[in-house]
């Protein structure tokens, strides 16, 4: 009963947000986003996580290649630097985009070298709630003021819903807020394993250059009988 109520609340929230209105998610967020790299674009993400509770270090790089403007292929290996787990292959298709809203589908396939084959289907939505200061700048120009920026650079919301062949489903929501240029504060929350676990992430993304981003965050997870916290960070390079 409680799971059903929580599920209804989360999905109701998601669809209410979708009605408002593009943003690009990144590590340390768990939520994926509809953004793609474009034809020939390549993104390398070197993501790490240290599970403070279990004292386990994970290295999970992600390599994304743009096949066409709305289409990416993603390779996700997973390792703790001692053993390699089965990797994922994702195909992301951004089927809709306008100035404030975008949506994508992402089938994912686990390559079954050690475990059973698993396939999942992700649905991703993103809304740009507050534009990145362009609106205020234009208003300022109309008044003869050089810059009309209010100091709010951008506010984006991202949702990610998925279901896999193991009959697990998950729902994530993320908020990205850029109060000043090149510093993005992020918050992520969601439920996984058919609402048997929930997590929260808080962090910051620093745009060192247009092509290089560094991120750091803290993740807290609550499962049925366990709790865990992790320190996560990553470095991404776009080509």
- Per residue in 164-176, pLDDT (tens digit) is 998 889 999 999 9
Please tell me whether the overall predicted TM-score, pTM, comes out greater than 0.85 for this model.
no
Confidence at residue 166, expressed as pLDDT on a 0 to 100 scale: 86
The pLDDT > 90 percentage for the chain reads 47
pLDDT category at 132 given cuts 50, 70, 90 is: low
Confidence at residue 205, expressed as pLDDT on a 0 to 100 scale: 94
Q: Is 238 exposed, middle or buried (0-12, 13-18, 19+ CB in 10 A)?
A: middle
Contacts 24+ apart (CB under 8 A), 229-232: 229/51, 229/52, 229/53, 230/49, 230/50, 230/51, 230/52, 230/53, 231/49, 231/50, 231/52, 232/27, 232/28, 232/47, 232/48, 232/49, 232/50, 232/201, 232/203
Confidence at residue 54, expressed as pLDDT on a 0 to 100 scale: 85
Confidence at residue 20, expressed as pLDDT on a 0 to 100 scale: 33
Given a contact cutoff of 8 angstroms between Cβ atoms, the answer to whether 130 and 155 are in contact is yes
| Fold for the domain defined by 2-238 | Porin (2.40.160)
pLDDT category at 77 given cuts 50, 70, 90 is: confident
Confidence at residue 134, expressed as pLDDT on a 0 to 100 scale: 52
* 44-65 mean pLDDT: 90
pLDDT category at 146 given cuts 50, 70, 90 is: very low
């Amino acid at each position: 009963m409680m799971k059903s109520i929580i599920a209804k609340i989360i999905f109701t929230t998601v669809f209410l947000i979708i009605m408002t209105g593009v943003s690009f998610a990144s590590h340390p967020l768990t939520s994926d986003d509809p953004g793609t790299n474009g034809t020939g674009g390549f993104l390398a993400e070197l993501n790490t996580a240290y599970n403070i509770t279990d004292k386990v270090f994970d290295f999970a790089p992600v390599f994304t290649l743009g096949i066409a403007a709305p289409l990416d292929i993603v390779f996700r290996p997973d390792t703790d630097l001692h053993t390699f787990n089965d990797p994922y292959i994702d195909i992301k298709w951004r089927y809709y985009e306008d100035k404030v809203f975008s949506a994508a589908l992402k089938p994912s396939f686990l390559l079954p070298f050690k475990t059973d084959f698993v396939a999942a289907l992700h649905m991703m939505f993103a809304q740009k709630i507050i534009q990145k200061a362009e609106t205020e700048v234009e208003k300022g120009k109309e008044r003869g003021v050089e810059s009309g920026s209010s100091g709010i650079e951008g506010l984006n919301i991202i949702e990610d819903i998925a279901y896999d062949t193991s009959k697990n489903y998950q729902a994530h929501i993320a908020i990205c807020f850029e109060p000043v240029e090149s510093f993005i504060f992020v918050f992520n929350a969601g439920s996984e394993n058919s609402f048997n676990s929930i997590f929260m992430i808080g962090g910051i993304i620093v745009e060192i250059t247009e092509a290089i981003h560094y991120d750091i965050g803290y993740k807290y997870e609550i499962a049925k009988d366990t709790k865990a916290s992790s320190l996560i960070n990553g470095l991404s390079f776009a080509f």
